[in-house]
Amino acid sequence: MSPSKNDPQVVQRQLDIAVDHHLADRLNEADALYRKVLKSCPDHPVALHLRGLIAHQTGRNNDALKLMSRALKVEPNYYEAHSNLGLVLAELGRLDEAIARHKKSLTINPAYAEAHNNLGNALQTAGRHLDAVASYQAALQIDPASPDTLSNLGVALAQIGQPQAALECCHKAIALAPDSLDNLFNLANVLKDLDRPEEAVSAYGQVLGKNPGDVRALGNLAGALQSLLRSDEAAECYARAFSGSPPASIPIMWLYSASQLPCDIPGHDLTSLIEAVNPRPGDALEDFKSWRGFARASIAHRRGQHGEAWQLLVRANRWPARRVVQN
């Protein structure tokens, strides 16, 4: 007699093979097997959670939200699912809920280093840099050799004015994971934040040497070039970054910075992009409106519409963005 498809051993074997595919980044094969498990066991929490994780990895965060929520309804103490649901909520711009999910994961398992790191990332996105540092340090107490956490800690330390410690963390992360583009990108960001633009340009160039279409590196490289008064090169980088991004999701600071250039952005109507953009996760709405107003004012000024530019500037000149513009 052949085993039933509902036999726990058969289900577990399918799940094990699916996880192997998932870890090897064969997402279609993994998803097909997770679906097969769920056909036999519709409320299997692991299959629901991991199907949700694939949905998150492929940008389908609303689907991920539903699947992970179902998994947690079946298994409320599934701490990995709580933290991964936090990642999904952060992508959906629901940062307070994301932070709460990571904290819930840690309530269930305080030794889960990944949740400490994920909580740090959510806090960092929310601008709570000191709290983020504490979360990353808690993660490193559990897993001292995590390159991703070291890299993230470096970014947070730069934000709170500890440049030497920031660079040490970033260099340690790269030594542990030399092939990680994310960690090299974080080093470039720290160098840029520390007003070391030549070194930042070099680091962004290394990222782009391995992945020429990396939109994050292109947009940030443009800003570093701009600070070196290499305007034409900056405009080209902004053009490539804008071409690789959905218009609504382009960071408002890229658009503001691009509006400050003395030249146009090849192939792009900056005014249209400024009007199309939406706040990103972690953007305070008032800040977003201010920066968009400053960008509009810059465009109007370049067109010789000085009266309109002044009115736009007055409306945009609200705290805290005004402090940066006036300094």
Q: Are 279 and 249 in contact (CB under 8 A)?
A: no
pLDDT in tens, 298-313: 999 988 998 888 888 8
- Over range 280-290, report the average pLDDT: 84
pLDDT in tens, 59-97: 999 999 999 999 999 999 999 999 999 999 999 989 999
Per-residue pLDDT at 1? 35
As a whole number of angstroms, the distance between CA 191 and CA 197 comes to 7
pLDDT in tens, 13-61: 988 998 999 999 999 999 999 999 999 899 999 999 999 999 999 999 9
- Over range 265-273, report the average pLDDT: 95
Angle of helix 252-259 relative to helix 231-243, nearest 10 degrees?
150
In this structure, how many other beta carbons lie within 10 angstroms of the beta carbon of residue 221?
28
pLDDT in tens, 177-228: 999 999 999 999 999 988 999 999 999 999 999 999 999 999 999 999 999 9
Percent of the chain past pLDDT 70, that is, above it, reads 95
CB contact set of 108 (below 8 Å; sequence gap of 6+): 77, 79, 82
